[in-house]
Structure 1
């Protein structure tokens, strides 16, 4: 199954999370899954803000854990992201070759998506599949 071309607005919803070792997580997401490093701000080991773009559209934002930051209640390693890709088999092959922990092998869902899931070194769950969501209503 291939993802049909869609006409939709530029992404304005970006999953965002914190990481214990943000620089290592950035390298993992780029090297293992194929994200592109678009922007990284911070000094030394600290990442104040990073944007990683997905080549097929959208992306994620992340930064280092900040002690005493009560405004960000999410615990590092608890995020889950679904990433749409036209070729999940290629992403699965790349991830496996890079040593990613695959938690769900490539399979076809009952709604026709081909997808697999893996965990990053922080424990976040990444699912890659062909399901691009249902078309928006024209209303």
Structure 2
């Protein structure tokens, strides 16, 4: 297993298990899961196969104060946004920006919302 030396976003969810299942449907791979009390998840990781990961935890029982869920914007670099878009559509994701080629920079991608309301963008732009 390789070690990622990048930024890992942490998402808190009202239903962390459902969010993990949604991410798996998009192509993220299952990582560790540390259960919390009852039906909650204290900590978990979902790996993007092209590099990077997101941490997903239940908001209930979090040791820090969070004012809600669904307020995060994330961008995921991917080689094949068309395939990710097809998986998002199959999951019934709300597409907030259609699959398109950007006119002001070289990238192909789209945006959608997850079941918790977080905004995800997937595209080929990997920075300059």
Q: Report the TM-score when normalising by structure 2.
A: 0.88
Supply the distance in 1 between the matched residues of 2:62 and 2:7 (Cα, whole angstroms): 26
Please, which runs of 5 or more residues in structure 1 have no aligned partner?
1-8, 135-139
Distance apart, 1:72 and its partner CA: 4.2
Q: In the TM superposition, what is the alpha-carbon distance from 1:108 to its structure 2 partner?
A: 1.5
3-state secondary structure, aligned to 2:105? coil
In the TM superposition, structure 1's runs of 4+ consecutive aligned residues that sit over 4 Å from their partners are: none
2:40/2:60 contact within 8 Å kept: no
User: CA offsets, 1:106-139, max 9 Å, x none?
Assistant: 11221111010010111001100001112xxxxx
Q: Which residue of 2 aligns with 1:17?
A: 11
Structure with greater strand percent: 2
Following superposition, the deviation at residue 56 of structure 1 comes to 0.4
1:102 aligns with 2:95: yes
Does residue 112 (structure 1) correspond to residue 117 (structure 2)? The answer is: no
Using structure 1 for the length normalisation, give the TM-score: 0.82
Asked if 2 retains the 8 angstrom alpha-carbon contact of 1:18 and 1:74, the reply is no
- From 31, 45, 48, the equivalent of 1:38 is 31
Q: Is the 8 A contact 1:104 1:118 kept in 2?
A: yes
Unmatched tracts of structure 2, length 5 or more: none
Count of residue pairs the alignment pairs up: 124
Q: Which residue of 2 aligns with 1:5?
A: none
Larger radius of gyration: 1
Bigger mean CA deviation after superposition, 84-93 or 73-82: 73-82
CA distance in structure 1 between the partners assigned to 2:62 and 2:24 by the alignment: 29
The partner residue of 2:81 within 85, 88, 93 is 88
Structure 1 position 29 matched with structure 2 position 41 = no
Mapped to 2, the partners of 1:77 and 1:121 lie a distance apart of: 8
